[in-house]
């Protein structure tokens, strides 16, 4: 499976792979891409079932999604990279680090989890989307992405993100819910060897800081940062905090 990507920055620079959250496309990394591509080759990928990537029938697993990422990098003849992932993208990043540690220079796990709660709500969400499309859940989901104050002050951003979620192919979105329902890396966190930065949004109702703490406690040597005034899409709402944290971490570990 070759994923749709954007490929920015100097060809010969160390590679950073950016991976996206459920219901988003490469546009969710817009606040970071240009800045990070000043010093790095930044390859941002649409997850299977999202954006411009293929939409095979599901269900999917996080391990399959990690395989897509590695195959796509093979296509670019990139053998080693740093990985930063938001939410589902953070789970895929963990899976890449567990499956192919020799290919991972460093990890940044943003607003993500070793286990996204009980499987039942994810299976229910998958059924809702298979029946009614991603538009059926878009308002509820975008309400978790930004703090209330930010959404009220930036309605154009909130509405554009709602449309991004609603435009996700139903089978792709639902099959990624299936992958999230089954994801549980808790017993394997100690096997992650890459230098790791964990970032949580202080007001994230989807993957609250306690989830980030589990990752940081379990991954040897991980650094943990909590971003104030941020919900699930902390990287989008607070780029002035998150981008320098990523840049500093990546500089220290490529």
Residues in touch with ligand LWBT4IAB (CB under 6 A): 21-22, 87-88, 116, 141, 144, 180, 206, 232
What is d(CA 32, CA 244) in angstroms, rounded to the nearest whole number? 9
Report in angstroms how near the CB of residue 116 gets to ligand LWBT4IAB at its nearest. 5
Q: Which is nearer to ligand LWBT4IAB, 21 or 53 (CB)?
A: 21
What is d(CA 88, CA 177) in angstroms, rounded to the nearest whole number? 9
Paired tokens of 57: 């029938």
Report in angstroms how near the CB of residue 125 gets to ligand LWBT4IAB at its nearest. 8
The dihedral of CA 145, 30, 47, 250: what is its sign?
negative
Paired tokens of 203: 């007001």
Q: Which is nearer to ligand LWBT4IAB, 107 or 180 (CB)?
A: 180
Q: How far is residue 196 CA from its own chain's centroid?
A: 15
Paired tokens of 147: 């703090």
Q: Which is nearer to ligand LWBT4IAB, 73 or 206 (CB)?
A: 206
Q: How far is residue 73 CA from its own chain's centroid?
A: 17
Report in angstroms how near the CB of residue 10 gets to ligand LWBT4IAB at its nearest. 30
Report in angstroms how near the CB of residue 182 gets to ligand LWBT4IAB at its nearest. 13
Report in angstroms how near the CB of residue 146 gets to ligand LWBT4IAB at its nearest. 12
What is d(CA 125, CA 91) in angstroms, rounded to the nearest whole number? 18
Q: What is the DSSP letter of 126?
A: H
Report in angstroms how near the CB of residue 88 gets to ligand LWBT4IAB at its nearest. 3
Q: Which is nearer to ligand LWBT4IAB, 81 or 88 (CB)?
A: 88
Q: Which is nearer to ligand LWBT4IAB, 33 or 50 (CB)?
A: 50
Which of 99, 109, 101, 67 lies closest to 81 in space, CA to CA?
101
List residues bridging with 82 in a β-sheet: 16, 106
List residues bridging with 225 in a β-sheet: 199
Q: Which is nearer to ligand LWBT4IAB, 88 or 97 (CB)?
A: 88
Please compute Rg for the chain using Cα positions.
16
């Amino acid at each position: 499976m070759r994923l749709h990507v954007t490929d920015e920055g100097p060809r010969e620079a160390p590679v950073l792979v950016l991976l996206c959250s459920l219901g988003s496309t490469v546009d969710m990394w817009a606040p970071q891409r240009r800045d990070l591509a000043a010093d790095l080759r930044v390859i941002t990928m649409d997850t299977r079932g999202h954006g411009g990537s293929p939409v095979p029938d599901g269900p999917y697993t996080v391990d399959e999604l990690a395989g897509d990422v590695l195959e796509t990098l093979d296509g670019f003849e990139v053998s080693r990279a740093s990985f930063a992932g938001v939410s589902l993208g953070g789970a895929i990043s963990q899976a890449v680090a567990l499956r192919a540690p020799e290919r991972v220079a460093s990890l940044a796990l943003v607003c993500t989890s070793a286990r996204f709660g009980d499987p039942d709500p994810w299976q229910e969400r998958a059924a809702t989307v298979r029946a009614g499309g991603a538009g059926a859940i878009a308002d509820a989901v975008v309400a978790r992405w930004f703090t209330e104050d930010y959404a009220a002050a930036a309605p154009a951003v909130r509405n554009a993100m709602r449309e991004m979620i609603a435009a996700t192919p139903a089978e792709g979105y639902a099959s990624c819910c299936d992958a999230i329902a089954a994801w549980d890396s808790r017993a394997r966190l100690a096997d992650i060897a890459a230098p790791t930065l964990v970032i949580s949004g202080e007001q994230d109702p989807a993957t609250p800081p306690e989830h980030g703490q589990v990752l940081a406690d379990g991954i040897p040597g991980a650094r943990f940062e909590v971003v104030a005034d941020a919900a699930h899409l902390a990287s989008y709402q607070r780029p002035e905090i998150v981008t320098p944290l990523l840049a500093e971490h990546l500089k220290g570990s490529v």
